[in-house]
Amino acid sequence: MDVDNSTSQLQRVLPISPRALLLVNRHARQGQKYLFEAIHYLKTLGFDVIEESTEEPKRLCDIVRRYQHEIDLVIVGGGDGTLNIVVDALVETQLPLGILPLGTANDLARTLGIPNSLPEACEIIAHGLMKRIDLGWVNGKHFFNVASMGLSVKITEKLTKEVKRRWGIFAYAATALQVIWESRPFSAEIRIKDTSIQVKTVQIAVGNGRYYGGGMAVVHDATIDDQRLDLYSLEIKHWWEMILLLPAMRQGRHIHSRKVRALQGKEIEVYTRKPRPINTDGEITTYTPATFRVIPMAISVLVPPQ
């Protein structure tokens, strides 16, 4: 597995007995099950833990703001959607982030080389290094992994919490196949570096990190600190062409296909005839027209030592 820990911006600055705000999404696939186990591990490792799990994930930002002057870091137990909810408060408060991958896909954890094992993830928070990472930004909303429109939005709409909890990572594949079968192209205008490009596409994805959608790669060489956005547009006409592309998408090599347009930049605009929903890290948060930007070295995350 490729791991994105390439930056030289690695350091350790937490106090000896750090005070941590632990936020667990009880609706995450493993959130409720592992809550007390996580608290036990963290306390054993010397953390003073304030636990504020909630049944309403959208309240997580308010909880971070409330505790910002009383804590040394925020630890989030959940998946990419939970992290996406918290990210704006992390930017605002500049508190470091520790990740316990308790969701279905855990793509940010995969990008950073954080294992799904709860004891190992806790050890990384206790003994790992602090890494500054980039964030994506679209229409005022920050994101870690990918913001996209088209197929991914339809997958998000069909991928219920019950399906994810029951089938885990396999839920993505089954739902994707159903959505691909029903997909229809849409028209869009992409503006980048004073150039306007008209496309007919089934999906436009703008990536900040490397992994998304349960382990697919945006681009084979993408990192979360390369200070760029990677866009791809899937310009296929028939559903079966998408099936042929799927193996390459696991490695981020789909950009070499004639059916895929690939672009890079620090700022990208996308326009559509009517507003289309945009998915950021698995959550529908905004609509076109959209302006995407990379925010370099936006927050600090605890990662495995190199």
On whether both 259 and 214 belong to a single domain, the answer is: yes
pLDDT single digits (tens) 239-278: 667 777 777 777 777 877 788 899 999 999 999 999 999 9
On whether both 148 and 250 belong to a single domain, the answer is: yes
Confidence of residue 8 (pLDDT cuts 50, 70, 90): very low
Confidence of residue 178 (pLDDT cuts 50, 70, 90): low
Of 100, 127, 154, which residue is a domain's last? 127
pLDDT single digits (tens) 37-96: 999 999 999 999 999 876 777 889 999 999 999 999 999 998 898 899 999 999 999 999
Q: Specify the pTM.
A: 0.85
Of 99, 127, 155, which residue is a domain's last? 127
User: Which residue range(s) make up the domain with 156?
Assistant: 142-296
Mean pLDDT of 275-291: 94
Residue 11 lies in a domain: no
Predicted confidence at residue 7, as pLDDT, reads: 43
pLDDT single digits (tens) 95-147: 999 999 988 789 999 999 999 999 999 999 999 999 999 999 999 999 999 99
Q: What is the number of domains present in the chain?
A: 2
On whether both 169 and 96 belong to a single domain, the answer is: no
DSSP per residue over the chain, as a string?
Answer: -------S-EE----SS-EEEEEEBTTSTTHHHHHHHHHHHHHHTT-EEEE--BS-GGGHHHHHHHHTTT-SEEEEEE-HHHHHHHHHHHHHH---EEEEE-SSS-HHHHHHT--S-HHHHHHHHHH-EEEEEEEEEETTEEESSEEEEEHHHHHHHH--HHHHHHHTTHHHHHHHHHHHHH---EEEEEEETTEEEEEEESEEEEESSSEETTTEESSTT--TTSS-EEEEEE--SSHHHHHHHHHHHHHT-GGGSTTEEEEEESEEEEEESS--EEEETTEEEEESSEEEEEEEEEEEEEE---
On whether both 56 and 149 belong to a single domain, the answer is: no
CATH code: domain of residue 259:
2.60.200.40
On whether both 149 and 287 belong to a single domain, the answer is: yes
Predicted confidence at residue 31, as pLDDT, reads: 57
On whether both 118 and 146 belong to a single domain, the answer is: no
On whether both 23 and 169 belong to a single domain, the answer is: no
Residue 226 lies in a domain: yes
On whether both 119 and 265 belong to a single domain, the answer is: no
Of 127, 162, 185, which residue is a domain's last? 127
Task: Inform me whether the pLDDT recorded for 5 exceeds 70.
Answer: no
What percent of the chain shows pLDDT beyond 90? 58
